[in-house]
């Protein structure tokens, strides 16, 4: 089917199939982890990345861990499951989606009415696949809900990768683009390369090109020049966390793009599932900003590109105040200002 | 002397000494071109770069070409000079500063009252060194004129490299920073890495660190986050061309930084010599924007970082409309709005 995005993680013929994202954009390599150790390794080494995708990977990893279990009873089985979950969680200890997915599978087992170990094994797989299917459905809903906002645009600009590669399928920011493309409205996409880790160049440009959607790669500092030329009619990005007042934490650089969009009179849309909202925080000031390894900025791969001994600032995220956000697209519908009231109503 | 910037190109003990800028920031390698061919090669391979610096290099290259001339008379000498100039100009055919410097040396010879070939040789060297000395004096004047604008700042942000490495010494955008530092007011500098060619990481961070000025390197998309934190009180950049109304063509990304500065209430200064003004153009719309090799964006060094087959937009420059420019710092003084009138008065 034309314009159909690739599926980054699937369960097929009794095996997990995943795209090794560390090999992109050079090669499309499919890996098939057969053991929990292989899945742990794949998560650890970022062969799979993106919060929803690694949750799915962890849940499927749990099934790999227990599918050949010789547990004699339910208690022994649940103990094995708990041990495997703790092991998988250690692959990326700060990834909340892994914890959430592992907990959900364990809770499904705990709530089961059967004591039959074979039936419990099937339940683990069923729950893992449900997580996957629900994520895909949620992304599709975001795509459908966001489509009307973009349908009159000729081209849009995006930052980082909030696409199919980060989710079960379709992505969040890119979901409306795939949705429209499958219905004959093919947008052009400008992809910021997204320094320092180049998710835009390596992943967004790859997945859109793979799906047949025309993509133009730019360095982050070219976004203003693209907007000044009138080449994009909307910006759409994902989100890592959204506070109760509509402030948006997302990949470093998002805030700057939001300012540029407003300056050029271009709407700035954020696409994210309801689970992204953290209503315990009243505003973006309360979001802690992780600083990452300075070597990501001072080196390219292993090659130094800056002198030794200088200072480096390498925040992973920035916060876009809600006043720059035209609308937030969720699986439950579109949220517009005033955000405080409308987020409270919908989320 | 503390905070003194390095001299990228000098005439010392009868030889040209230049920093091989292609080896920065890893190694400080001094090269000594002894022939016009070696100078041609150094210019061609970007061992020396920056409009003023390559003009000086070309003029000194002209001296290398004729210093051992056996020309029997003035006519023969001037013919040799003309041939050498044409050869040197072919090293970087679009660099107007090379043409300007070569022409200036030839005109000085043409205007000479002596027919003595030895005296004419000395005149070539003298004129080349005059070009160098005048550039240094001009940069110093920009530094002195710009200093009052920055003296109350704690830190400033700059984009690309408009520093000592691009000029005879001191640079343009960085000149006020060196000027203040030598007088005990040491500013902190945030340097945008400046994709795709990383002049900020490779050159600006290097030369400031070498001079003992504290520099923090960021990726281009972190500038907004730095401004939001209140960490910089001014932005200062160089210029490639300034039109009669004050619009500024400069390295790609400058326009975006100017918008971000205004959004955060931070003054945005442009530092450039009078020769940068092109009064034949009434506004920035008339400036042609060179597009460079897409491989600069899709590759890092020789390593591909983006998929094959996608579109790439790689403009070398952008245009910052004058309404974003707080002031233009020249060797003749500071120009403020209204630019059309004030540029006409000063330039």
Residues B242 and B300 sit within 8 Å (Cβ to Cβ) = no
Chain B residues close to A318, C-beta within 8 Å = 222, 224-225, 228
For residues B185 and B110, membership in a common domain is answered with no
Residue A260 has pLDDT above 70, yes or no: yes
Chain A residues close to B256, C-beta within 8 Å = 221, 223-225, 256, 260
Give the closest-approach CA distance of A243 to chain B in angstroms: 18
Judge whether B51 is annotated as a binding position: yes
What is the C-alpha separation between A255 and A265, in angstroms, rounded?
15
Chain B residues close to A201, C-beta within 8 Å = 297-298, 305-306
Predicted pLDDT of residue B86: 97
Closest residue in chain A to residue B189, using alpha carbons only: A311
Closest residue in chain B to residue A28, using alpha carbons only: B307
For residues B153 and B84, membership in a common domain is answered with no
CB contact under 8 A, A313 and B222: yes
Long-range contacts of B77-80 (CB under 8 A, 24+ apart): B77/B109, B77/B117, B77/B120, B77/B121, B78/B106, B78/B109, B78/B110
Residue given tokens 């007042």 in the structure block = A245
Q: What is the pTM of this model?
A: 0.95
Closest residue in chain B to residue A195, using alpha carbons only: B219
What mean pLDDT do residues A6-16 have? Answer: 96
Read off φ and ψ for residue B34, nearest 5 degrees.
-105, -15
Residue given tokens 């517009």 in the structure block = A336
For residues B149 and B104, membership in a common domain is answered with no
Predicted pLDDT of residue A198: 95
Q: Which of the listed residues A136, A160, A175 is the one where a domain comes to its end?
A: A136
CB contact under 8 A, B221 and A192: yes
Q: How confident is the model at residue A98 (pLDDT cuts 50, 70, 90)?
A: very high
CB contact under 8 A, A306 and B202: yes
Q: Which of the listed residues A78, A104, A136 is the one where a domain comes to its end?
A: A136
The answer to whether residue B121 is domain-embedded is: yes
CB contact under 8 A, B217 and A298: yes
Minimal Cβ distance to A221: which of B190, B217, B220: B220
Minimal Cβ distance to B306: which of A205, A263, A309: A205
The answer to whether residue A203 is domain-embedded is: yes
**R_g over Cα of chain B:** 21
Q: Which residues pair with A250 in a beta bridge?
A: A318
For residues B190 and B266, membership in a common domain is answered with yes
The per-residue DSSP string of B117-135 comes to HHHHHHHHHHHHHHHHHHH
Distances (CA, A) of A149 to A152, A162, A265, B9, B299: 8, 17, 15, 56, 34
pLDDT tens, chain B, 347 aa long: 679 999 999 999 999 999 999 999 999 999 999 999 999 999 999 999 988 999 999 999 999 999 999 999 999 999 999 999 999 999 988 788 899 999 999 999 999 999 999 999 999 999 999 999 999 999 999 999 999 999 999 999 999 999 999 999 999 999 999 999 999 999 999 999 999 999 999 999 999 999 999 999 999 999 999 999 999 999 999 999 999 999 999 999 999 999 999 999 999 999 999 999 999 999 999 998 889 999 999 998 778 999 999 999 999 999 999 999 999 999 999 999 999 999 999 99
For residues A153 and A289, membership in a common domain is answered with yes
What mean pLDDT do residues A291-311 have? Answer: 92
A240 is catalytic: yes
Numbered residues of the known binding site of A: 49-51, 92, 199, 250-251
Residue given tokens 């861990």 in the structure block = A65
Predicted pLDDT of residue B1: 62
The answer to whether residue B38 is domain-embedded is: yes
Predicted pLDDT of residue B60: 98
The answer to whether residue B1 is domain-embedded is: no
Predicted pLDDT of residue A250: 95
CB contact under 8 A, B313 and A256: no
Chain B residues close to A303, C-beta within 8 Å = 301
Residue A1 has pLDDT above 70, yes or no: no
The answer to whether residue A73 is domain-embedded is: yes
For residues A197 and A218, membership in a common domain is answered with yes
CATH number at residue A75: 1.20.120.420
Closest residue in chain B to residue A160, using alpha carbons only: B221
What mean pLDDT do residues A117-125 have? Answer: 98
Predicted pLDDT of residue B95: 80
Compute, in degrees rounded to 10, the torsion defined by CA atoms B251, B252, B256, B262.
Answer: 10
Three-class secondary structure of residue B267 per DSSP: coil
Compute, in degrees rounded to 10, the torsion defined by CA atoms B49, B52, B53, B55.
Answer: 100
Minimal Cβ distance to A217: which of B221, B228, B297: B297
The answer to whether residue B4 is domain-embedded is: no
Q: Is A327 exposed, middle or buried (0-12, 13-18, 19+ CB in 10 A)?
A: buried
The answer to whether residue B3 is domain-embedded is: no
Name residues whose C-beta falls within 8 Å of residue B229's C-beta, 6 or more positions apart in sequence.
none
For residues A73 and A151, membership in a common domain is answered with no
Residues A4 and A211 sit within 8 Å (Cβ to Cβ) = yes
Chain A residues close to B314, C-beta within 8 Å = 218-219, 222
For residues A204 and A308, membership in a common domain is answered with yes
For residues A275 and A232, membership in a common domain is answered with yes
Which of B13, B73, B115, B240 is catalytic? The answer is B240
Tell which residue, A288, A31, A60, A306, has the closest CA to residue B199: A306
Give the closest-approach CA distance of B259 to chain A in angstroms: 7
For residues B132 and B228, membership in a common domain is answered with no
Predicted pLDDT of residue A93: 83
CATH number at residue A196: 3.40.50.10470
What is the C-alpha separation between B304 and A18, in angstroms, rounded?
23
Distances (CA, A) of A283 to A238, A239, A287, A290: 18, 15, 8, 17
Provide the number of structural domains found in chain B. 2
Minimal Cβ distance to B310: which of A26, A209, A303: A209
Is the ipTM, as predicted for this complex, more than 0.90?
Answer: yes
Tokens of A120: 């419990």
Query: What is the span of the domain harbouring residue A334?
Result: 143-346
Minimal Cβ distance to A216: which of B201, B312, B315: B312
Among A22, A215, A221, pick the best mutation site for testing chain B contact (most B Cβ within 10 A): A221
Q: Which of the listed residues B78, B107, B136 is the one where a domain comes to its end?
A: B136
Give the closest-approach CA distance of B202 to chain A in angstroms: 5
Chain B residues close to A310, C-beta within 8 Å = 205, 209, 215-217
Predicted pLDDT of residue B328: 98
Q: How confident is the model at residue A300 (pLDDT cuts 50, 70, 90)?
A: confident
The answer to whether residue A4 is domain-embedded is: no
For residues B229 and B269, membership in a common domain is answered with yes
Closest residue in chain B to residue A304, using alpha carbons only: B26
Give the closest-approach CA distance of B306 to chain A in angstroms: 5
Closest residue in chain B to residue A216, using alpha carbons only: B311
For residues A38 and A91, membership in a common domain is answered with yes
CB contact under 8 A, B201 and A228: no
Chain A residues close to B315, C-beta within 8 Å = 222, 225
Minimal Cβ distance to B214: which of A209, A263, A311: A311
Give the closest-approach CA distance of A239 to chain B in angstroms: 16
């Amino acid at each position: 089917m034309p314009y159909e995005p690739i599926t980054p993680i699937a369960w097929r013929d009794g095996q997990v199939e995943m795209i090794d994202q560390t090999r992109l954009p050079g090669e499309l390599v499919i890996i098939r982890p057969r053991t929990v150790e292989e899945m742990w390794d794949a998560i650890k080494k970022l062969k799979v990345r993106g919060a929803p995708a690694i949750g799915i990977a962890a849940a499927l990893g749990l099934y790999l861990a227990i599918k050949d279990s010789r547990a004699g009873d339910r208690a022994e089985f649940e103990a094995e499951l708990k041990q495997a979950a703790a092991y998988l969680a250690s692959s990326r200890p700060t990834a909340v989606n892994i914890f959430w997915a592992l907990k959900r599978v364990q809770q499904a087992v705990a709530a089961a009415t059967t004591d039959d170990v074979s039936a419990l094994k099937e339940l683990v797989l069923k729950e893992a696949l449900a997580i996957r299917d629900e994520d895909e459905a949620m992304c599709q809903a975001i795509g459908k809900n966001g489509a009307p906002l973009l349908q009159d645009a000729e081209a849009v600009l995006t930052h980082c990768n909030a696409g199919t590669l980060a989710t079960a399928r379709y992505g969040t920011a890119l979901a409306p683009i795939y949705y429209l493309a499958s219905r004959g409205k093919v947008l052009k996409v400008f992809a910021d390369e997204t320094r320092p880790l180049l998710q835009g160049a390596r992943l967004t440009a790859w997945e859109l090109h793979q799906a047949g959607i025309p993509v133009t790669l730019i360095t982050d500092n070219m976004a203003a020049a693209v907007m000044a030329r009138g080449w994009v009619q909307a910006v759409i990005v994902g989100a890592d966390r959204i506070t109760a007042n509509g402030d948006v934490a997302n990949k470093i650089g998002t805030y700057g793009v939001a300012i540029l969009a407003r300056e050029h009179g271009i709407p700035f849309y954020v696409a994210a599932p309801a689970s992204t909202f953290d209503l315990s925080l009243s505003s973006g000031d309360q979001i802690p900003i992780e600083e990452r390894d300075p070597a990501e900025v001072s080196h390219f791969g292993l090659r130094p590109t800056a002198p030794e001994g200088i200072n480096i600032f390498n925040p992973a995220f920035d916060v876009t105040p809600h006043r720059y956000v035209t609308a937030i697209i969720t699986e439950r519908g579109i949220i517009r200002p005033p955000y405080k009231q409308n987020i409270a109503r919908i989320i």
